A and B are shown apart, each in its own frame.
Chain A
Amino acid sequence: MKLLCSLWMLMTFTALAQTNFRMRAPKLAQIKKPTYSASDIKAEIDFGKGLAARILHTYPLVDDQELQKYVNTLGAGLAALLGRPELTFYFGVIKTPDVNAYACPGGYIFLTQGLIQMLANEAELAGVLAHEIAHVNERHVIKKLKLKGKDDSAISGLGAMIGGATNSFRVALKTITDEAMNLLFGEGLAVSEELQSDVVALSALNAADYRVGSYRDLLLKIKKSMEEQNAKVLTKTHPKADDRIKMVDKFEKKYHPTNEKTNAERFKRYAIH
Chain B
Amino acid sequence: MKTFLVLLVFYFACFPTWGAEFFIKSLKAPLLKEAKNGSKPLTTLERGTKVDGGSPEGAFVAVTASGAKGFINKLFLSDKPLAEKASLLNQDVDISSKARKRASGFTSAAAARGLKEDSDQIFKNLGKEANATEFKKLETFLVSDEDGLEFIQDVKKELKP
Contacts and interface: CB of A to CB of B under 8 A. Distances in A.
Interface of A: 3, 6-7, 10, 14, 18, 21, 24-25, 27-34, 37-39, 41-43, 45-47, 49-50, 52-54, 56-57, 60-61, 66, 68-70, 72-82, 84-88, 90-92, 108, 126, 149-150, 154, 157, 159-166, 168-170, 173-174, 177, 200, 203-204, 206-209, 254-255, 257-259, 261, 263, 266, 270
A266 B151 CA distance: 11
B66 interface: no
A162 B142 contact: no
A-B pairs, top 9 by smallest CB distance, nearest first, are A76-B148, A77-B148, A77-B152, A53-B130, A80-B145, A50-B122, A56-B134, A80-B27, A86-B83
B83 to A, nearest CB: 4
Contacts of B3: 3
Contact of A166 (B61, B87, B114): B114
Interface in B1-47: 3-4, 7-8, 11, 15-16, 18, 20, 22, 25-28, 37-38, 47
Nearest to B157: A266
Nearest to A40: B93
B56 A24 contact: yes
A146 B44 CA distance: 38
A18 B16 CA distance: 8
Interface residues of B, number: 93
A129 B127 CA distance: 30
Contacts of B149: 76-77, 80-81
Q: Which applies to chain B's interface (DSSP): helix, strand, loop or mixed?
A: mixed
A270 B151 CA distance: 13
B7 A7 contact: yes
Interface in B97-131: 98-99, 102, 105-107, 111-112, 114-119, 121-131
Given A38-B83, A69-B143, A57 B138 contact: no
A173 B16 CA distance: 51
B37 A206 contact: yes
Given A33-B79, A38-B90, A204-B75, A257 B37 contact: yes
Contacts of B112: 166
Contacts of B69: none
Nearest to B11: A10
A136 to B, nearest CB: 12
A43 B75 CA distance: 26
Contacts of A47: 122
